[in-house]
Amino acid sequence: MSHIVVIGAGQAGASLVAKLRNSGFDGDITLIGAEPAPPYQRPPLSKAYLLGEMELERLYLRPESFYSDNNITLRLNTHVDAIDASAREVVIGDERISYDQLALTTGSVPRRLPAAIGGTLEGVHVVRTLEDVDQMATEIEKDRRVLIIGGGYIGLEAAAVAAKKGLNVTLVEMADRILQRVAAPETSDYFRALHHAHGVDIREGVGLDRLTGEGRVTGAVLSDGSTLDVDFAVIGVGIAPDTGLAEAAGLEIENGIKTDAHGRTSDSAIWAAGDCASFPYRGTRIRLESVPNAIDQAEIVARNMMGENVDYIAKPWFWSDQYDVKLQIAGLNAGYDNVVARPGEHDGSMSFWYYQGDTLLAVDAMNDPRAYMIGKRLIEAGKSADKTVISDPSADLKPLLK
């Protein structure tokens, strides 16, 4: 009987095994994960869960019984040490498990700060796993001082939670502006103003020189020479795809584990999906770090493992929650050269439309689900949108879809 092994029991791994079963795969399935918890959703870790507004069980993607009910062997707390691709075996300590097909859904690892600048002091947190966030949550108490390093979505979401909980929050961003890597200056301005209104001290164009303290972090020296007293620190300086196993097994790596449009790696028996995988997209190769990508790509891989031949056509979308603002992003803005602003119907609702020339690439919508939905449908249909219509808040957007 055929045996499919999946390494990485996160969003993509869980979606992949569920899709295999509900598409009728009746061979053996083993899902192996290094973390102790059954597969769970990460987005609430820096939002509702960290705020204490979401219970642990609600994080789980499926109840643990789902796996046994569907005859899926779920091995938690189990780190795969190596893949022996020529023998078609995965190696866990002294144990070897053979596979007919293997999927890698190993996700990504947060970048940490070097020990030489205080990265390993107690009280310095990253935000990736449930364990990371449970540890960090014990630090969140009114009036404490937190330094957040990095003004990307994770850093800003952590800042929003801390500010809502009454902490004194300082956020440093080495680049000229927060969200520089992912958004236009207009979106950065919107979120800077939002955080200022909640008392967050945002310092842009200022890096961290070092964290200081004996054993535990108590302070920070910034690149402009200023110093801060700090009770704890949160590092949100990006992630790297977890490609270690794949690399050691001799698979091709190119900004993540390199896959073809079907999700197959350079070894025909091995597939990859989610944060760890790069794939062809509109003539280039990209890697996405998002839940929708992890689910959609994993489901395509599951179908292809069962013998279909379907291409993964990514339809990128993302979201972020900060205070009472829901940001929804459709499309990818890479290559934009102009941005059109559209005020929404309600106070504080706004959308920014990214164009390359007259071609619509992406939309950032703040508390404007309608602008997001229409933008998403236009982008996915390869349609553009007349800028004079977009910039006129009284103009109805729906006719653009025709």
Residue ranges binding ligand FAD (CB under 6 A): 7-13, 32-35, 42-43, 45-46, 79-80, 105-107, 127-128, 154, 242, 245, 274-276, 289-292, 294, 318-320
Q: Are 74 and 67 in contact (CB under 8 A)?
A: yes
Helix 185-197 and helix 153-164, axial crossing angle in degrees, nearest 10: 20
Spell out the alpha helix ranges (H) of 92-209. Answer: 130-137, 153-164, 185-197
**Least distance (Å) from ligand FAD to the CB of residue 205?**
25
Toward ligand FAD, which CB reaches closer, 331 or 340?
331
Tokens of 198: 């909640």
**Least distance (Å) from ligand FAD to the CB of residue 322?**
10
Q: Which amino acid is at 320?
A: S
**How far is the C-alpha of 252 from the C-alpha of 317, rounded, in Å?**
27
Toward ligand FAD, which CB reaches closer, 13 or 375?
13
Toward ligand FAD, which CB reaches closer, 35 or 209?
35
**Least distance (Å) from ligand FAD to the CB of residue 65?**
20
DSSP-derived secondary structure for 335-398: T--EEEEEE-SSTT-EEEEEEETTEEEEEEEES-HHHHHHHHHHHHTT----HHHHT-TTS-SG
> Which residue of this chain has its Cβ atom nearest to ligand FAD in the complex?
10
Toward ligand FAD, which CB reaches closer, 220 or 272?
272
User: Scanning the structure block, which residue is given the tokens 């899926």?
Assistant: 72
CA dihedral of residues 260, 263, 269, 272 (deg, nearest 10): 120
**How far is the C-alpha of 249 from the C-alpha of 106, rounded, in Å?**
14
Toward ligand FAD, which CB reaches closer, 189 or 289?
289
**Least distance (Å) from ligand FAD to the CB of residue 43?**
4
Toward ligand FAD, which CB reaches closer, 32 or 169?
32
**Least distance (Å) from ligand FAD to the CB of residue 46?**
4
Toward ligand FAD, which CB reaches closer, 47 or 145?
47
Tokens of 25: 């795969």
**Least distance (Å) from ligand FAD to the CB of residue 303?**
17
**Least distance (Å) from ligand FAD to the CB of residue 333?**
16
